């Protein structure tokens, strides 16, 4: 990572005006300098921005929507992470090797046409190892930074529970419920489903759908 005085990005931001009295290429811009430009404010983008900001880097987080969360918001804010610290703390058995067997088995089952191109070979193995090695460490990092998950892992099973390497529960984690007012003016960037109740855990959703 270059130091702040060695290299920086320049991001032009502005509003394109296509009014009748102005040329189509008329654009008002302002220049913001940063060390890291992150596109997309889903869970991955927000995590990357927080991690980059922590050591003092200047970060621009760009999002086309008027709220943050991305597809993670649409999936309840859950995270799928094998062999995570909550599994260890609650006595649920898992390992990186077991998770790798599961991911490989699911890939062969669901994406057979891409088997040779995308799911086999050195690049696939390196990415899989990076995810299974650094993912649990990332969770520990954000826990130390103040992020909180539910005290116990969700009972949500792996999507393919009968495939080699699957576990009955534990790999899916739910974020802890918190007071949105604690975010201050950033609260306005939270998605707000119209007329829909907030369901923070899989177990709650399962009960409500039976009513």
- Pick the more confident residue, 207 or 46: 46
**DSSP track, 114-153:** GHHHHSSSHHHHHHHHHHHHHHHHHHHHHHHTT--B-SS-
**pLDDT tens track for 82-133:** 999 999 999 999 999 999 999 989 888 877 665 555 555 666 788 899 999 9
Mean pLDDT over residues 162-170, rounded?
95
Per-domain residue ranges of the chain: 1-77+176-193, 78-174
Length of the chain: 211
Measured distance CA(131)–CA(147) in Å, rounded: 20
28: pLDDT strictly greater than 70: no
Provide the token pair at 38.
Answer: 């992150």
Q: What is the pLDDT of residue 55?
A: 93
Q: Name the residue with higher pLDDT: 132 or 5.
A: 132
Question: For 182-198, how does the pLDDT look when each residue is reduced to its tens digit (9 = 90+)?
Answer: 999 999 998 876 766 66
pTM: 0.74
């Amino acid at each position: 990572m270059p130091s702040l005085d060695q290299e920086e990005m320049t991001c032009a931001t502005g509003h394109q005006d296509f009014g009748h009295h102005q040329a189509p290429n008329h654009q008002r811009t302002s220049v913001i300098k940063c060390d890291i430009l992150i596109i997309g404010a889903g869970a991955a983008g927000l995590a990357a921005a927080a991690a980059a900001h922590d050591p003092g880097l200047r970060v621009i987080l760009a999002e086309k929507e008027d709220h943050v969360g991305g597809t993670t918001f649409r999936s309840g804010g859950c995270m799928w992470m094998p062999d995570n610290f909550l599994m260890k703390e609650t006595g649920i058995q898992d390992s990186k090797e077991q998770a790798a067997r599961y991911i490989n088995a699911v890939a062969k089952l669901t994406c057979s046409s891409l088997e040779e191109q995308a799911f086999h070979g050195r690049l696939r193995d390196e990415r899989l190892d990076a995810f299974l090695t650094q993912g649990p460490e990332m969770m520990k990092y954000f826990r130390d930074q103040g992020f909180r998950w539910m005290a116990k892992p969700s009972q949500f099973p792996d999507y393919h529970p009968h495939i080699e390497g699957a576990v009955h529960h534990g790999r899916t984690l739910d974020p802890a419920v918190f007071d949105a007012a604690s975010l201050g003016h950033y609260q306005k960037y939270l998605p707000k489903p119209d007329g829909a109740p907030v369901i923070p855990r899989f177990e709650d959703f399962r009960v409500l759908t039976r009513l």
